[in-house]
Chains A and B, each alone.
Chain A
């Protein structure tokens, strides 16, 4: 089942044309990796799925993005509902300067969930899903900033899971973490794949190869090649893709 479809998507920052005619389909419960050198437009594309680019002055898009068959750039779409469906994890861990519990419960709080029991249950469940529960269950009232970088990032994942999204966008989620924390995040992604559709932007080629089902290679705003990860990394059809994944440039 396809969950995301894009059709001839173009994006501009002012007069700067950063994405060119991107047409793509993404299947449910899969991991898709976006790779490509810096400035190729992959983060911009990722951020279009939950409309985070709306806050950037001079941003403009053409073309359509459909999620579950619905055009998410329609006027009638409510951003709050869209982002309940689509969670996001950022490059640098960005927990709120509040307690661990408050971080995980924030998405529920802003949606007006008042029932203490339900909040407690969903916080516990999402922390468990993010493989963080055993490490923090005795210190839920401590500041989120007392956690290590890797734990903070898993808390950010738990925070996104608590509102029950079906898609999770990850913008280089492990680039600020050490190798051990990185491998934990990667394990977690493989685990989460059972229930969620995950799209991950990464600069780490091995990471893309390890965790993703499909890989999209972007270069200078073009979607150069999109296919099964195994094929992209072993027998790419495009010369540029081959050069990039073998480390000859980028």
Chain B
């Protein structure tokens, strides 16, 4: 065989390997989804969504869990998004580019890989105990914010780095200040990449259980949280609680709750993708 034929063969082989890998990933996801839906779909009705938890599987609902999840999601977003973007802007646009900066960069990337339970311990010590917040929504949201900040910072920096230098020059050349250049030109141009980071990080936050267990979120909360200082539970904890019980009826409840959690994640990502596309159509390269 000559070189040309070998090259073509490698090309084809790589294509098929790629298809195979993707199929495995999709297949596993499909099996998981089918399983969950067969198990839990018929359990979902209005009562299930609007009922408080109960010792009886048939009467139990997820009202406190999904309201808790939305609270946590909202508070985490409010805390982590501005902080993360601001940190990214500082590191990329203002901070000096020296050895200290590269040490910080490596460490932020490392933080993104720290097991989430460690963040739980940190949150327990600082927010719950030291700052006296108790096992509140705010303490939970701040713990999850710590967890997802590195992801948002890294994504923001990458997005800012990708903005062409000519755009900065154009803005400076017209007499814009650094802040105006960042606010009017660079951040909008980088918004797509930043939003992708936000989507990824919030999706992660919504599914986290371990750090919330550590800070003392309860599996059984018989009331809907009314403010950020209330105690709470979230869907993943409710699911964990139900799945670990021996009775089959509770496992069905768990499967149904998983579907609701998936729906929340999909809706949230859908909204974010919608905004990203809308902003990017206005930023027309």
By a beta-carbon cutoff of 8 Å, the part of chain A in contact with chain B is 50, 52, 55, 57, 79-84, 87-88, 90, 92, 94-98, 106-107, 109-111, 143-146, 156, 159-160, 163
Contact B169 A52 (CB under 8 A): yes
Flag the segment in B132-140, B147-155, B177-185 that touches A: B177-185
Q: Which of A80, A90, A109 contacts B170 (CB 8 A)?
A: A90
Of residues 228 to 285 in B, which have CB atoms within 8 Å of A's CB atoms?
A: 282-285
Contact B174 A97 (CB under 8 A): no
Asked if A87 meets B173 with Cβ closer than 8 Å, knowing A97-B284, A97-B285, the reply is: yes
Of residues 89 to 111 in B, which have CB atoms within 8 Å of A's CB atoms?
A: 97
Nearest CB in chain B to that of A54: its residue: B172
Q: Which residues of B contact A50 (CB under 8 A)?
A: 173
Nearest CB in chain B to that of A145: its residue: B284
Q: Which residues of A contact B164 (CB under 8 A)?
A: 94
Contact A94 B169 (CB under 8 A): yes
Asked if A90 meets B166 with Cβ closer than 8 Å, knowing A50-B173, A83-B172, A83-B173, the reply is: yes
Asked if A83 meets B175 with Cβ closer than 8 Å, knowing A97-B189, A106-B184, A109-B184, the reply is: yes
Q: Which residues of A contact B170 (CB under 8 A)?
A: 90, 94-96, 156, 159
Interface centre among A80, A95, A144 (most CB of B within 10 A): A80
B200 proximal to A (CB < 8 A) = no
Q: Which residues of B contact A83 (CB under 8 A)?
A: 172-175
When chains A and B are docked, how far (Å) is the Cα of A50 from the Cα of B171? 13
Of residues 157 to 208 in B, which have CB atoms within 8 Å of A's CB atoms?
A: 164, 166-177, 180, 184-185, 188-189
How far is the CB of A115 from the nearest CB of chain B, in Å? 19
Asked if A160 meets B189 with Cβ closer than 8 Å, knowing A94-B169, A110-B180, the reply is: no
Q: Which residues of A contact B169 (CB under 8 A)?
A: 52, 90, 94
Contact B167 A96 (CB under 8 A): yes
How far is the CB of B160 from the nearest CB of chain A, in Å? 15
Q: Which of A92, A106, A110, A146 contacts B166 (CB 8 A)?
A: A92
Q: Which residues of A contact B177 (CB under 8 A)?
A: 79-80, 110
Q: Which of A55, A57, A87, A145 contacts B174 (CB 8 A)?
A: A87
Contact B175 A163 (CB under 8 A): yes
